[in-house]
Amino acid sequence: MSTGRIGKAWAVLGTVLDPEVPALSVRDLGIVRDVVEPAEGGELEIVLTPTYSGCPATEVIEQGVLEAIAQAGIGPARVRLQRAPAWTSDWISEEGRRKLRDYGIAPPGGTAPDATVPLRFVGRREAALACPRCASTDTERLSAFGSTACKALYRCRACREPFEHFKPI
Amino acid sequence: MQPSIRVDPDPGVQYVLRIGDTCLILGQRLGEWCGHAPVLEEDIAMANMALDLVGQARALLTHAGQMRGQGYDEDQLAFLRDERDYRNLTLVELPRGDFAFTVVRNAMVAGFLRHLWAALQSSSDTELAAIAGKAIKEARYHQQHAADWIVRLGDGTGESRRRTEAALASAWLYMPEFFDSDAVDDAAAESGLGPRWADLRDAWLADMTAILDEAGLAMPAEAAFRSTGKRGVHSEHMGYVLTEMQYLQRAYPGGVW
């Protein structure tokens, strides 16, 4: 990573928070795919990959990124949305996973399932998920969907607390 | 009132619209559950899936509108076409029905879309392939959710089983349309845009068989009836969906938020 404008841009992106999961920066979330230096003092190009097709936070994130770059005095900049390769929760950094846990959200465990592998509808068992509060694995899923597109709802049987899980996708 | 737009009859545009409109209209129907689902968790689930589907529709309609230099944006395509220019599968425009009908329809459509997205990942159209790479993950999650519910309802109480059987019997009438291939499919297969939908039938049936077996439900026989929404000839329900969807854009042309 360079220490020039690009290096500064990456550092600034580490301070732009996801509006729906404000424990994570957009860098922790893995949606910043590249920062491209312009030819001569032109616009920095910041390449973002959205998490979900319908994620309503995408536009707010774009705006937040541009404002932060402008405030740091390293603008002008523009955002380019890149669909492929598709975002996966595997791109959430180790640091991001730790922050999620501290925030009370169980991070995605293991690697995301390969979407082309045939589904199992019979005798399927969910992998045990550790409660982000008491670390017990005696937990159960309440709902496959949660308060945002990226989360599911769980409950810990040991400490009786409900918690959210960042879906592996 | 805002006048309607005309869409290019090119088979490639029609192929993309069939997928985009199927996502759009199912998203609209699932959104109707918001505030009405039997339990809060499912209310959230339906709204979440509607959000994914509308997001997929936005990407597809944006793409379809740019094909062949038409220059339409996603909103023009979503809100300013006449009924006959919508290309969705008829099944998705039917009223939301009860919860059993909703999960049966979701399982049928999400399973179909998952196999379609899998094939579209290698489309000759790189934008369509990129949309597929994202959407397949979402469709997979939707299919799993719907399948889990069919098993729970089919293998549940007498009442839940009765409702699920009734839902299956009525939704199944619209299944042949999924796989009824025509010139639009042939053109897509030839250009490498996407698969002929008839070729997805075996994989789709294998999924449905596994789900219904686990739920203890019999697969209905295929009816002679052929619905034709994907060719623009819709059921009597489509006009009502569009009336609600289009009201704002027709009454306040160009309104944005």
Q: What is the pLDDT of residues A67-101, one digit of tens each?
A: 999 999 998 999 999 999 999 999 999 999 999 99
For A141-145, B185-189, B221-225, which range has the lowest pLDDT when averaged over its residues? A141-145
Q: What φ, ψ does residue B25 adopt, rounded to 5°?
A: -75, -35
Look at residue A35 and tell me whether its pLDDT is greater than 80: yes
Q: Please state, rounded to an integer, the average pLDDT across all residues of chain B.
A: 96
Tell which residue, B201, B256, B245, has the closest CA to residue B21: B245
Look at residue A159 and tell me whether its pLDDT is greater than 90: yes
Q: What's the CA gap between A35 and A45, in Å, rounded?
A: 6
Please tell me which residue, B160 or A56, carries the higher pLDDT value: B160
Look at residue B92 and tell me whether its pLDDT is greater than 70: yes
In this complex, is the C-beta atom of A143 within 8 Å of any C-beta atom belonging to chain B?
A: yes
pLDDT at site B165: 98
pLDDT at site B27: 98
For the residues B75-103, what does the mean pLDDT come to? 97
Please tell me which residue, A113 or A12, carries the higher pLDDT value: A12
CB nearest B133 (choices: A86, A113, A153): A86
**Residue B166 C-alpha, separation from nearest chain A C-alpha, in angstroms:** 21
Rounded to 5 degrees, what angle do the CA atoms B63, B67, B68 make?
Answer: 170
Q: What's the CA gap between A138 and A126, in Å, rounded?
A: 12
Contact list, B143 vs chain A (CB under 8 Å): 119
**Residue B149 C-alpha, separation from nearest chain A C-alpha, in angstroms:** 11
- Residue intervals of chain A classified under CATH 3.30.300.130 are 5-81
Residue indicated by tokens 């925030």: A103
Q: What φ, ψ does residue A106 adopt, rounded to 5°?
A: -70, 125
Look at residue A19 and tell me whether its pLDDT is greater than 80: yes
pTM of the model: 0.94
pLDDT at site A86: 95
- Local confidence band at B80 (pLDDT 50, 70, 90 cut-offs): very high
Q: What φ, ψ does residue A143 adopt, rounded to 5°?
A: -155, 140
For the residues A131-149, what does the mean pLDDT come to? 92
pLDDT at site A120: 76
Tell which residue, B155, B172, B25, B3, has the closest CA to residue B87: B25
Residues ≥6 apart with Cβ < 8 Å to B149? B99, B103, B107
Tell which residue, A107, A134, A9, has the closest CA to residue A65: A9
Please answer yes or no on whether A119 and B143 come within 8 Å at the CB atom.
yes
Q: What's the CA gap between B50 and B28, in Å, rounded?
A: 7
Q: What's the CA gap between B132 and B124, in Å, rounded?
A: 12
For the residues B92-109, what does the mean pLDDT come to? 98
For the residues B153-161, what does the mean pLDDT come to? 96
Strand-strand pairing, A32-36 and A105-106: unpaired
In this complex, is the C-beta atom of A169 within 8 Å of any C-beta atom belonging to chain B?
A: yes
Please answer yes or no on whether A119 and B147 come within 8 Å at the CB atom.
yes
B11-251 classified as CATH 1.20.1260.10: yes
Strand-strand pairing, A162-166 and A105-106: parallel
Number of A to B CB contacts under 8 A, please give it: 98
* Boundaries of every domain in chain B: 11-251
For A105-114, A116-125, B228-237, which range has the lowest pLDDT when averaged over its residues? A116-125
Distances in whole angstroms, Cα of residue B254 to Cα of each of A94, B4, B67 = 45, 13, 22
- Local confidence band at A2 (pLDDT 50, 70, 90 cut-offs): low
Look at residue A127 and tell me whether its pLDDT is greater than 80: no
| Paired strand residues for A73 | none
For the residues B145-153, what does the mean pLDDT come to? 96
- Local confidence band at A3 (pLDDT 50, 70, 90 cut-offs): low
For the residues B177-195, what does the mean pLDDT come to? 97
State the best of B23, B34, B51, B58 to mutate against chain A, taking most chain A CBs within 10 Å. B51
Strand-strand pairing, A162-166 and A151-156: antiparallel
* Helices and strands in chain A, H and E counts: 3, 7
State the best of B104, B141, B144 to mutate against chain A, taking most chain A CBs within 10 Å. B141
Chain B residue with CA closest to A143: the answer is B41
Please answer yes or no on whether B49 and A147 come within 8 Å at the CB atom.
no
Which amino acid, A118?
A: P
| Residue range B21-48, pLDDT digits in tens | 999 999 999 999 999 999 999 999 999 9
In this complex, is the C-beta atom of A108 within 8 Å of any C-beta atom belonging to chain B?
A: no
pLDDT at site A38: 81
**Topology of the domain covering A5-81:** GMP Synthetase; Chain A, domain 3 (3.30.300)
In this complex, is the C-beta atom of A130 within 8 Å of any C-beta atom belonging to chain B?
A: no
Contact list, B117 vs chain A (CB under 8 Å): 115
Q: In this predicted complex, what is the ipTM?
A: 0.89
For A114-128, B5-19, B77-91, B161-175, which range has the lowest pLDDT when averaged over its residues? A114-128
CB nearest A121 (choices: B45, B140, B147): B147
pLDDT at site A123: 64
Tell which residue, B2, B65, B31, has the closest CA to residue B241: B31
Look at residue B255 and tell me whether its pLDDT is greater than 90: no
Contact list, A118 vs chain B (CB under 8 Å): 207
Q: How large a percentage of chain B has pLDDT more than 70?
A: 100
Look at residue B52 and tell me whether its pLDDT is greater than 80: yes
Chain B residue with CA closest to A118: the answer is B207
In this complex, is the C-beta atom of A115 within 8 Å of any C-beta atom belonging to chain B?
A: yes
Q: What φ, ψ does residue A81 adopt, rounded to 5°?
A: -90, 130
